[in-house]
Chains A and B, each alone.
Chain A
Amino acid sequence: MKTIRININGEWKKLKVNPQDRLIDTLRGQLGLTGTKEGCGEGECGACTINLNGKAVLACLILSVQTDESRILTIEGLQKGLELHPLQTAFLNESAVQCGFCTPGMIMAAHAFIRENPEPDMQMVKECLANNLCRCTGYEKPVKAVLAAACSMRETNHD
């Protein structure tokens, strides 16, 4: 067992983890943050996308011990109280959710992306979501939702 200290959705926590635990196991099992989904478990589907130190990464391809002293943001950390994040609102408004399994991954991929590219075009958004598979095949609406969210975040200066 190894002890790590991580900032999870704004709160520093000390955890004991097995060296072979992946971050997705720690998030879902130990921390009960089941918003992050595990799809393929081998880096193909993107359902487990989270933000690690501000960058979109796959929680199934990182060992928990490697995240010592880092900041992790999951889908649960986006909402402030009762107020939804503009990305969440945009996904709702555009009906960009079908079964919803891929949605947390898509939103977290888009979250890191908009921070780096506040004024994206459609091609850039498509590239950003290229690692997120949707088996309901609803790709058009998530792309629209990300564009709408980027637009509203610019207007409201949302971070």
Chain B
Amino acid sequence: MSRQKIHAQVIRIGNPPFCLKSYRQCRGCFGWRNMIRAARSKAAWQDRPIKCLLTGLTLKIGGIPEDTDLITGGNTDAIQLKSRGFHKPGTIEETIDLLVKYQRDACLIAGGTDILPRHQGDGNRLTAGHLIDISGLGLDYIQNTDAGIHIGAATRINDLISSPVFSSEPYGVLAEAARVHSTHTIRNRATIGGNLCNASPCADLALPLLALDAYLVILGPNGKHLIDLESFFQGPNCTILEPDQMMQEILIPFTNHLALSGFLKLGRHQTKIDTAIVNVATRLSFKENDCIDARIVIGSAGPMVFRAKKAEALIKTGILDDDAINLAAGTAMQEASPLDDIRASAAYRKEMVAELVKESLKIIMKRSLS
């Protein structure tokens, strides 16, 4: 029996990850070894660059023989690198200048709740040469305008929960997800932009924002541009952002349709600090009594957070009843491509995708009837 050969192209050299050397779990969702295994077995993982958070090694699958020593190869300089500079720019222009100057050696920091734990336990706390603190740029705001709701990238997650904008529909799903995101103490520091830029496949806040069709305002040396959140994510821990670009704000487009939404998260012990085994956000828009649009967003069950579009189409076109819900849940399960990891097996995750989609659609159905 011959195994399918996988070819990878190294985009950026990195090191053997600490998580493999010392048997610590990768803080991304799946772990590096699993990513390689996934790329070997699943087509969905092969057309995306895969980046290891610990080492910076970034691969694009699709080229070299599988026995190439990718995991243990690489140069060790990157790992020895300690933080050489800390910058706290006062304006966005200064920040972009710094990003242009230091390129991949630069790392933006706001809350730090993802950047700092990544470098613990190995004596090398920070691999980025230059940390750029963006907390002085005034990017912590929630503004309601005609275009929609603007959320600054450095807005603390707890501020989303306390904001009246997200206290009810049509935008309430964001606060619902924020409430189950880690713990109160972490949320006092963690920011919404950080949660997105980290591009973890289980990022709690990415789900409701995808369900709300959010856009991102990206800044770079060539100015400002808008991209939709769906095309922002490129793979596990990998975004479309260039080294000299940064996220300024998240824009949730204005809607005046009646909408019902829900967010469900399954954790290992159902404690607050758990990373999700599977998380699901659903959102249905209604015009009079007809469902005119559906969003079913699934996290922790693929290389990145994704919309189950086939399942969405089923819900959108049919009458919302038990049969339609069961069919949509089954379809969503087919669309998921999860992995085995320390939190759960792929098979269990698939089952849970179906259960969570079913449960959250049923909650919406009940509420739509009342």
Tell me, yes or no, whether B239 is within 8 Å of chain A by CB. no
Secondary structure of the A contact surface, majority rule: mixed
Contact of A61 among B82, B117, B126, B184 (CB under 8 A): B117
**Are A46 and B112 touching (Cβ within 8 A)?**
no
Tell which of B5-13, B185-193, B198-206 binds the partner: B185-193
The answer to whether B86 and A58 have CB atoms under 8 Å apart is no
Secondary structure call for the B interface: loop
B53 contacts partner chain A, Cβ-Cβ < 8 Å: no
Q: Is the CB of A20 within 8 A of B125?
A: yes
- How far, in whole Å, are A79 and B86 apart by their CA atoms in the complex? 35
Chain A residues whose C-beta falls within 8 Å of the C-beta of B120 in the assembled complex: 40-42, 60
Query: CA A2 – CA B133 in complex, angstroms?
Result: 14
What bracket does the count of chain A residues touching chain B fall in?
A: 20 to 34
Residues of A within 8 A of B88 (CB): 65, 68
**Within the assembled complex, what's the spacing in Å between the Cα atoms of A49 and B111?**
15
- Interface-side segment among A86-94, A95-103, A123-131, A148-156: A123-131
Number of residue pairs across A and B with beta carbons under 8 Å?
81
Q: Mark B115-133, 1 if CB is under 8 A from A, else 0.
A: 0110011000110000101
Determine whether A119 belongs to the interface, using a CB cutoff of 8 Å to chain B: no
Q: Which residues of B contact A118 (CB under 8 A)?
A: none
Is there a chain B Cβ closer than 8 Å to A44's Cβ?
Answer: yes
Question: Which residue of chain B lies nearest to A44 when distances are taken between CB atoms in the complex?
Answer: B273
Residues of A within 8 A of B85 (CB): 19
Give the residues in chain B near A109, CB-CB below 8 Å: 185
Interface residues of B (CB under 8 A from A): 82-86, 88, 109, 111-113, 116-117, 120-121, 125-126, 131, 133, 135, 182-186, 188-189, 271-273
**Which A residues form the contact surface with B (CB < 8 A)?**
2, 19-20, 22, 40-44, 46, 49, 55-58, 60-63, 65-66, 68, 109, 113, 127-128, 130-131
